[in-house]
Each structure stands twice: as C-alpha cells, then as structure tokens.
Structure 1
Amino acid sequence: MAGIAGMLFLLTGIIRIPVQAEETSGEPENLYARSAVLMDADSGRVLFGKEEQVVRPMASTTKIMTCILALEEMEEGETGTVSANAAGQPKVRLGVKEGEEYRLEDLLYALMLESYNDSAVVIAESLSGSVEEFADQMNEKAREIGCRDTHFITPNGLDAEDAEGVHATTAEDLALILRYCIRESPEKEAFLAVTQTRDYTFTDVSGKRSFSCQNHNAFLDMMEGALTGKTGFTADAGYCYVGALSQDDRTFIVALLGCGWPGHKNYKWEDTRKLMEYGLANYAYRKIGTDDMKAGQEDSLKIPVENGADPEDPYKRGTVVRASAKDPESFRLLMRKDEKVECRTEIPDALAAPVKRGDQVGKICFLLDGKEVGSCKLTARESVEAYDLGTVYHALFPEFLLGQ
C-alpha cells in the first residue's frame, strides 16, 4: 500500500446496510445426518451447518477427489494395468483382473457411476505409482482447496487408519471439495460430464471384456436443477452424500455424513431435499457496494500526511489527503432475507509523503456475520509532495518574480 507509514489500521466506523425485513422460513430441523452443510457454491459460504466441523468418515464421497485429480493429471488416452492389489479390492467392484489394461477415462465412469472400489485403485496406482503416493496428492489438493480437517488414506473411501488418523473429513470440507470440482478446477466441465452421465459402456483395452455402468445418484431425478453428486456407505461412515443443485442463477451444495445406517438408506435423500428447499426458499442475490455507504461518508475520509507539503501554505509542514473508493461497482452476494451487511472503513493512522493521486491508502470491507465477503480500494484523490527546501523554493519563486 503506497506511502503508508505503518501497517496498523484504524477502524473508522462500521455502518450497517439495511435490508428490508421479510419473513423467512425456519432453519432445517430434525435432520437425520450427524453432520450436514448447505453451502453457497459461488462464495463457499456455509449457509447452514449441523456439526459441520466434526471429523467423521466419508466413505465413497471420497471418490469426488479421486475423480478430479485424475481428470487434472491423466493424459488423453492414458491406460493403466491392473495390479494384484487393485484386483483384490472388496465389493463394490468392477471385477478387473490382474494384468488387464484399461483406459483411465473409462474407469472414471465406473468410479463415479457405480462407485467401484477396484477402479479407484487402478486409477491411483497408474497415476502415482501407489495408493500411498496418490493419497499424498489427495491431501495436498485438500489443503490447497482450504480443507482444514480432511485426511485421505485410500482413493475409494474404504474405512482405514494410519499413523496420522482415520480416513475422514468434515461436512464443511467435503462441500468445499465438491465446490472445487464444479467451480474452480480447470476440469470442472469434464467432472460434470462424467457425473451427469446416466449410462456408459466400455471394454478393456484388448476388447475381450465389456462392461456397462448406470448412474446411481438418485438426486439427479429428484429436483429441478440437480447438477451432480456422489453417494457413499461403509460400516463406520454410515450413509453419506454430497451433491449440488442450480436454480435461478443460484448454486447450492449439500454435504451429509453419518446419515443413517442399513434400513435407512433413503434418509440422505430426505435431508438433501430439505436443505436444498431451505436454500431455495430463503436465499437470493443482493447487490452490495459503496452506494450503500452513508451519504457523505467518503468526504470525511481525510488521512494525515506526515512531512507533506500543504499546497495552500508553502511554509506549512504536514497536510491531509482525501480518500475515495476505486472501482466502486456493486457485487452480488447470496443472502437470507433478514441478513444485514456491515460496511467497515480501514485507513492508516498516517501516510508518509510523497503520495500520488490514485495510490491505495486503505480499503472498504463488507462484512457478513463478522466475516469479510468483499472489499474495494480507497485511493488518494490528489497528490501530496514531500515538504523540503525544493518545495518551498518552487512555491515562492513565482512570488519573487512578480515582486521584481
């Protein structure tokens, strides 16, 4: 930040931006899932959470990470050879045999449509050399995405434990991973293409064996705008699900962990519908921007400039510079009807001369629930030269000539 004497900022005020109060539907109650999240896919903001940061096993929802890593790493037409480890994976499995060769792209459909455990291992070993190395890549990617409490051990989500803990995540982290898959990854379109496919057939490379896969994500037919999703189940994890829906330019992600055990397979669909309907009924985009600041607030943003030359008094050392918002266009934010945004101005105690017009001298932060959801720069509206003998000379020289 040009010309700032110190990094300590003064909070010059918090202004609440009023939002017309409207009746809202109550938050979802009586969810079956032990952990649940409803997330805004555009911002990554958690709109509703139930034990959303509690670490739990996530079963085959793991495979969304396996899929997106494979899409980002594999070469076009790349193949993989089945190892004894891959062929020995437990059900649910494709039934590959040691020594067979498969196109990795084909195995992604077996992975995501049928949730085959052996397909995941073939992919992992082919791309990284071993399941352990691939798991390291999964964990590295999770950290890049912003996951704080996720630990991958296997590419298929089978219950596992190592020296660092169990194979597990949180509902919030799981939602963030799916957000990456559909919003941020360079292969997001390919991810959606795979996970939205209803039926897929393929053969091994030799053409001797053929396979057919059907998509088991029932959510795709449950609600208008359903985008993608992945189910999961293990004895430790229970039924799990992560899915996304898009309607009216809004995209929501639901993540569920521990959503019932055998005998209650449909609990995850009930919870998913309840959370999605809550999001659709209560959240809409609103425009937020500097127009929402109090009238005249910017005019009051004057920052002292130490050792600055006062343009109106050449003998005076020290002056002020006015600050105003740069690029003050509004931005959109998905908000509940009764939520309010706060506008906070941050400026330094003082600036050091010289200051050029257009230099950033602070910022305006927009806060929701105490968290920053947007900002714009505050820039100097005029230049201020440093006070020195040269400044005084140039200011007085015209007067000297006029006096001759």
Structure 2
Amino acid sequence: MKKAIIGLLLMICWTIPISTGVQAAEKQASPNADLVSQAKSAILIERDTGTILYEKNVHQKLPPASMTKIMTMLLIMDAIDQGKLKWNEKVRTSEYAASMGGSQIFLEPGEEMTVDELMRGIAIGSGNDAAVAMAERIAGSEKAFVEMMNKKAKQMGLKDTVFKNATGLPAEGHYSSAYDMAMMAKELLKYDEVTKYTGKYEDYLRENTDKKFWLVNTNRLVKFYPGVDGVKTGFTADAKYCLTATAKKDGMRVIAVIFGAPTPKERNEQITKLLDYAFSQYQTHPVYKRNEVISHVKISKGKKKEAELVTAEPISVLTKKGANVKDIQKVVKLKENVKAPIQKGEELGTLVLKQNGKKLLESPLVAKQSVQEASWWDLWKRTLSSFVKSA
C-alpha cells in the first residue's frame, strides 16, 4: 500500500458512552489463572476491537485439528462476498474429495451439492469431504487451496500458522496458535451471514431422498450457552479437544479459543468460564456496521472519478462496565494516487478512532464497488465535457 495521507475531511466528535478502560484492556493481563487450567493454550478477545481479555500460551504452535476449517470457511465467505461463488451453485464431488476420512457427510464421487449444503456440512457436521469439495471448487485442487490458506494467513500477519490441508486431518508441519485462530475467527465473523451456518445446532442434507443425512453441531455450546453461534470444534488424538467459540450478548461479540483440553467436558467448561468473564466485566458500544459509507477517494483513469469507501468490518469501542467518557474523534486516512482498476473490497484508506489524542482503534476502509479502467473514449468524453463546462 502506498504512503497514506491524513485527510482531515472527517474529524468529528460525538458523544457516546465510551470507556476509559480501553487502553488497559489492550494488554489485559490474565485476570484469573483458574479460568483455563486444563488446556495447553487459550485466548479470549472482543471481536470488533480485537482486544485481548485473557491469554495463556497464545503463540504456542499446536495442531488445530478441525478448527482449520475456520480458514476454509473464511475463503468460502470471501469468494461469496467477491461474487466468485453463489450459494445455489452446484459443486461436483471428486473421487479425491469423497475419499476423505474422519468426520464426513459421506459424499459419493460425482455427487452434486449446492455451496449452501456443503457449507452446512462443513460448519455443522465438520465434513472433511465437504471441505475438500469446496477447496477444489474455489482453487482447482486442495493443494492450490492450501496455498491460498497460507497466503491469507500471511496477509493477516499471522506468524504461528502453517496449513498442510483444508480439513485439519493430522499432517506433519500443520499447526496454528490460539492467537492466530482467534484472528481467523475475527475475520470470518465480519460476515454476519456465516453464523447462520455455524450457529445452527442441527440440520439435514439430502432431504426428500432415501439418503437423508442428519447433521448435529459438534459445538454443543450452540445449544446450551445462550448467545453462542459458532465457530468450530476440533479433535484428533494429538490435538486433544479444541474449540473456537463465539457468543454475542447485549451487542458485544467475543471469541474464546481453547487448544488441547483433555476432555470435551473440560473444554466446554473452560470456554464457558471465559465467556462468563467477558460478559460480566466488559461491554462494547457499536459505532459502525460493516459496509457503512465513511468517505470517498478519487480514482485516476477510472470509469468512475471516485469510489465510495466503506467499513470492512463492524466497528465498536470496548468498555469496562460502568466506565464512560465522551468526545471520540474520527480521522480518515486516504490512500493517495489511486489508479484504476480497483477491486471491490480493496483497501484504500483507514479509519482511526481517538480519545484525548490516544488511538483507540484502527480499521481498514475498502472500496464498496469495483472500478474498471476507463477507455480512451471515456477519457476523451470526460475531457470534452470539462472543456464545455469551463467555456
């Protein structure tokens, strides 16, 4: 990204109940070691700000098992958002995809399911065959898809993650960390639609056939903890019991990750403690929803002269319960010398929220729509129009 300039086009103060505890929360020390005693690593974050509320061995590299599918689902949602994939598109199952072991929805070679059905198979049933079928549809092969997964992890700045497959099946050199998994879930959950899948406790595939298949969510907290609507469990003999969970209450969404719990009961109990802690101690105040127009940027040699910039994710300010202040400043930084073509979702600016001169959070602003490069005819007409108006 080229050097950004600060456009004080949008520096506005408004009054909302915001916390003085934000800075302290950014480096929140473990509040209670007993929250997670029976797991190798753990983390608790608030989704919108990414603030860490609890941490234990967060950068330890460990096998993530089927939590790997969080990245698989993220790339599916990216493809949907970019218009490269549609929910009703039918995907044909290859021999290779159908051969996956472990958790599966028992796809047969040549069987077709819609993207919607396969996503349910991944999110609810943790189907390895469904994950590979989608990987092949998006990238052409699982190997190429894994390259996309690792590229995405690198783009996100994740340093403790290397993927070897799209499923989480045991593979040498396949690892992640509690911190990285939380960041993947944070990115995935910017797509509100994904919780329609991850938050469903049970569903059916192949309905109205003699092969009706019952899906039951491997994340039991979806049913038993109010507000939990994702994201993904994981288990192998090496990884033990893992879970990346998310819950939303009173407008605040948090993400809790556990690696290496000895039993599913202890995994769920510790996740529950983390969620209880977050909701009892913190609150968030939503500022913007995802895809809200914040500013505009000029486009050189484009079919359009400028592009609308929108929020790339929901934006909130985190508070300790009971603490509040006012006068939050909004500063928009715009990328300079932007030339067409630009793609929908391309980062072209940054939104910064400040309080008393201190930065509370920073979030990317992205192009709302693609802008194609103008033809010589478009540029000639534009020049002629400008000449006529000035005459």
| TM bracket, shorter-chain basis | 0.5 to 0.7
Is the alpha carbon distance of 1:56 and 1:338 closer, same or farther for their aligned partners in structure 2, counting shifts above 3 Å? Answer: farther
Q: Secondary structure at the match of 1:132?
A: helix
Secondary structure of the residue aligned to 2:193 is helix
2:194 maps to which of 176, 191, 210: 191
In the TM superposition, residue 228 of structure 1 has moved relative to its aligned partner by 1.7
TM-score, length basis structure 1: 0.62
The number of residue pairs the alignment matches comes to 282
Change (3 A) 1:214 1:43: same
Determine helix, strand or coil for the equivalent of 1:216.
coil
Aligned position for 2:188 = 181
Q: Which amino acid aligns with 2:50?
A: G
CA contact (8 A) 1:25 1:281 kept: no
Corresponding position: 1:281 with 2:280? yes
How far 1:372 sits from its partner (Å)?
4.7
Q: Give yes or no for the alignment of 1:203 onto 2:187.
A: no
Distance 1:149 1:196 in 2: 27
Q: Secondary structure at the residue paired with 1:141?
A: helix
Aligned AA for 2:59?
A: Q
The residue type equivalent to 2:48 in the other structure is D
Alignment deviations for residues 319-344 of structure 1 (CA, whole Å, 9 cap, x no partner) = xxxxxxxxxxxx96424479999xxx
Residue of 217, 220, 223 corresponding to 1:221: 223
Structure 1 residues 56 and 197, CA gap change in structure 2 (3 angstroms): same
Question: How far did residue 114 of structure 1 move?
Answer: 1.2
Counterpart code for 2:176: T
Q: How does 1:260-271 map to 2 (within 5 A)?
A: 260=262, 264-271=263-270
Distance 2:353 2:111 in 1: 60
Find 1:112's aligned residue among 120, 123, 140.
Answer: 123
Residue 70 of structure 2: SS of its match in structure 1?
helix
- Aligned with 2:189: secondary structure? helix
Gap change, CA 1:195 and 1:116, over 3 Å in 2: same
Question: Does structure 1 residue 48 correspond to structure 2 residue 54?
Answer: yes
- In structure 2, the partner of 1:172 is 179
CA distance in 2, matches of 1:234, 1:159: 7
Cα offset for 1:82? 2.1
Q: Kindly tell me: are residues 138 and 249 of structure 1, through their superposed partners in 2, closer, same or farther at Cα, counting changes over 3 Å?
A: same
Corresponding residue for residue 373 of structure 1: 360
C-alpha separation between the residues in 2 aligned to 1:212 and 1:279? 34
Q: Counterpart amino acid of 2:193?
A: A
1:334 matched to which residue of 2? 318
CA gap 1:126/1:374 in 2 versus in 1, 3 angstroms: closer
> What is the CA distance between 1:28 and its match in structure 2?
4.1
Counterpart Cα distance in 2 of 1:198 and 1:18: 36
User: Of 146, 150, 158, which aligns to 2:157?
Assistant: 146
Q: Are 2:68 and 1:69 aligned?
A: no
Pairwise CA RMSD of aligned residues?
3.5
Q: TM-score, normalised by structure 2?
A: 0.64
> Is contact 1:41–1:253 with CA below 8 Å preserved after alignment?
yes
For 1:59, give the aligned amino acid. Answer: A
Flag the 1:137–1:101 CA change in 2: closer, same or farther, 3 A: same
Q: Which has the larger radius of gyration?
A: 1
1:89 paired with 2:100, answer yes
Q: Which residue number in structure 2 is paired with residue 27 of structure 1?
A: 32
- CA, structure 1 residues 365+70, in 2 after alignment: closer, same or farther (shift >3 Å)? closer
| Secondary structure class of the residue paired with 1:175 | helix
**5+ residue gaps in structure 1?**
3-16, 288-330, 342-362, 376-404
Q: 1:364 and 1:180 mapped to 2: Cα distance?
A: 20
State the Cα distance separating 1:158 from its structure 2 match: 0.7
Amino acid at match of 2:182: A
Q: CA 1:88–1:285 in 2, change beyond 3 Å: closer, same or farther?
A: closer
Matched, 1:160 2:171: yes
Check conservation: 1:63, 1:157, Cα contact below 8 A. Answer: yes
The question of whether the paired residues in 2 share the 8 Å contact of 1:28 and 1:278 is answered with no
**CA deviation after TM superposition for structure 1 residue 373, in Å:** 2.7
How does 1:237-316 map onto structure 2 within 5 Å?
Answer: 237-260=239-262, 264-285=263-284
CA contact (8 A) 1:146 1:176 kept: no
- Give the drift of 1:111: 1.2
- Contact 2:49 2:361 (8 Å CA) reproduced: no
Tell me which stretches of 4 or more aligned residues in structure 1 moved more than 6 Å.
Answer: 337-341
86, 101, 105: which one aligns with 2:112: 101
Q: Give, as a single letter, the amino acid of the residue that structure 2 aligns with 1:202.
A: L
Identity %: 29
Q: After superposition, give the CA deviation of every residue in 1:119-152 in whole Å (9 maximum; x if it has no partner).
A: 1111111221111111111122223333222111
